[in-house]
């Protein structure tokens, strides 16, 4: 990596340089972090932060002001959190790319920390077939296309491609014959034919009056939608409105943070969502997680005994000694830090009579797992194990999964 102090004259051109590096290295985020003497610019590549540049505090002031102007932030506000977005066209790989950038600025003891998450708009980047779902999971996910109503809940941690998966699902519907509405904060992919709304609720230093999430959602329901995609929900009243919409002949998709598909149900109950509403409205719960994709040029073969792998995996191992691959710490000219990209591992719960009754009950995760076990439910960590058998991901990344 470059990892040196640099100078620039034009902040706009420097931003384009950062985006060019992002594209070349398949990074997900750019972190611009001030310290006492310098500002460090790092990229998150395959889940790891990698240092590229240092700039001076004077240079950062110019850069930060430019970022704020392009992201429609208040340039003279330094004591409050600000977040919004910017976008620009970029040419790479002989292709015109629309780059969407979600920008967050946070005050610190030295200056303001900036993080930019970058997303590409384009059909090949929002194709459900290209995200890395295993064939079995992909077939079940595509069953969503046969729905006329009900709710799809997509859950995962931060940086797990939740929004990308939601938009990839939306792309499977014909936008001309379906009225597709989205409600986001902010809109991350701008798509023709979609009715896209942004929620930016009022901040204490902002005089603009904005509608609340609940008000926006109620008005969307009056606009005769077929499909509604909702950005992340954190409050019980918001969740209840979405569930009610899914019960009135609409397809509703939304995302939330959870550590598993079962954990999403538990989280909604903790938001005081009525169990009967949850049980009668939800159809699919998808949990997904990103794991790093091994470079095929430098990965190394390893043999692991069955007793070297945690017990929860052992019944899925075909042999006492199994061949896997792991990273090779030697330098490789074909990859970045021994990985070439990311892939999804996932699990999916489909609501039926047994799941319906379990949601209505007071039972917890243990009872849910007992029901799912005899339904041939495949947990995400077993989906990951299968990909390790296919030599796509590092077995050492798999066996540490919860």
| Predicted pLDDT of residue 3 | 61
| Predicted pLDDT of residue 376 | 81
Report pLDDT digits (tens) over 286-300: 999 999 899 888 899
pLDDT at 281 over 80: yes
Q: What is the mean pLDDT of residues 196-219?
A: 68
Residue 14 phi, psi dihedral angles, 5° rounding: -70, -40
Closest by alpha carbon to 381, among 241, 200, 219, 260?
260
In this prediction the pTM is 0.86
pLDDT at 26 over 90: no
pLDDT at 122 over 80: no
Dihedral angle sign, alpha carbons of residues 99, 102, 107, 108: negative
Q: What is the mean pLDDT of residues 138-144?
A: 87
Band (pLDDT 50/70/90 cuts) for residue 46 is: confident
Pairwise pLDDT comparison (91 vs 48), residue with the higher score: 48
| Predicted pLDDT of residue 200 | 64
Strands 48-56 and 38-45: antiparallel
pLDDT at 201 over 60: no
Q: What is the mean pLDDT of residues 44-64?
A: 90
| Predicted pLDDT of residue 202 | 46
Terminus-to-terminus CA distance in the chain, angstroms?
32
| Predicted pLDDT of residue 199 | 76
| Predicted pLDDT of residue 182 | 93
CA distance 95 to 100: 16
Pairwise pLDDT comparison (263 vs 236), residue with the higher score: 263
Report pLDDT digits (tens) over 314-324: 989 989 999 99
| Predicted pLDDT of residue 92 | 64
Q: What is the mean pLDDT of residues 201-228?
A: 73
| Residue 248: count of CB within 10 angstroms of its CB | 10
Rg (CA), the chain: 23
Pairwise pLDDT comparison (372 vs 363), residue with the higher score: 372
Mean pLDDT of the chain: 87
Domains located in the chain, CATH noted: 4-117 (3.30.450.90), 128-398 (3.40.50.300)
| Predicted pLDDT of residue 204 | 43
Pairwise pLDDT comparison (19 vs 182), residue with the higher score: 182
Pairwise pLDDT comparison (89 vs 124), residue with the higher score: 89
């Amino acid at each position: 990596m470059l990892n040196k102090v640099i100078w620039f004259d034009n902040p706009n051109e420097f931003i384009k340089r950062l985006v060019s590096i992002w594209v070349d290295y398949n990074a997900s985020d750019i972190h611009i972090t001030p310290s006492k003497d310098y500002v460090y610019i790092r990229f998150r590549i395959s889940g790891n932060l990698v240092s590229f540049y240092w700039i001076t505090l004077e240079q950062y002031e110019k850069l930060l002001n430019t970022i704020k102007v392009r992201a429609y932030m208040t340039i003279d506000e330094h004591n409050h959190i600000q977040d919004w977005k910017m976008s620009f066209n970029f040419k790479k790989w002989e292709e015109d790319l629309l780059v969407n950038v979600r920008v967050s600025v946070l005050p610190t003891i030295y200056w303001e920390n900036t993080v930019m998450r970058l997303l590409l708009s384009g059909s090949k980047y929002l194709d459900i077939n290209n995200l890395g779902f295993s064939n079995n999971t992909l077939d079940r996910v595509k069953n969503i296309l046969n729905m006329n109503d009900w709710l799809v809940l997509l859950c995962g941690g931060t940086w797990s491609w939740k929004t990308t998966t939601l938009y990839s699902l939306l792309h499977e519907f014909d936008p001309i014959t379906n009225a597709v509405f989205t409600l986001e904060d902010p809109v991350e992919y701008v798509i023709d034919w979609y009715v896209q709304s942004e929620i930016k609720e009022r901040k204490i230093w902002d005089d603009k009056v904005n509608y609340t999430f609940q008000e926006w959602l109620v008005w969307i329901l009056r606009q005769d939608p077929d499909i509604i995609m909702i950005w992340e929900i954190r409050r019980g009243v918001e969740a209840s409105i979405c569930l009610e919409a899914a019960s009135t002949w609409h397809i509703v998709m939304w995302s939330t943070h959870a550590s598993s598909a079962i954990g999403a149900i538990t989280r909604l109950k903790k938001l005081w969502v009525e169990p009967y509403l949850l049980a009668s409205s939800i159809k699919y719960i998808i949990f997904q997680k990103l794991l790093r994709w091994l470079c095929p040029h430098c990965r190394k073969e390893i043999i692991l005994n069955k007793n070297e792998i945690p017990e929860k995996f052992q019944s899925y191992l075909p042999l006492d000694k199994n061949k896997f691959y792991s990273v090779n710490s030697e330098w490789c000219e074909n990859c970045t830090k021994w990985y070439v990209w990311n892939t999804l591992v996932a699990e999916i719960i489909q609501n039926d009579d047994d799941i319906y009754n379990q949601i209505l009950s007071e039972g917890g995760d243990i009872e849910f797992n007992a029901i799912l076990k005899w339904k041939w439910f495949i947990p995400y960590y077993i989906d990951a194990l299968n990909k390790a058998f296919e030599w796509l991901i590092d077995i050492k990344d798999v066996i540490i999964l919860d």
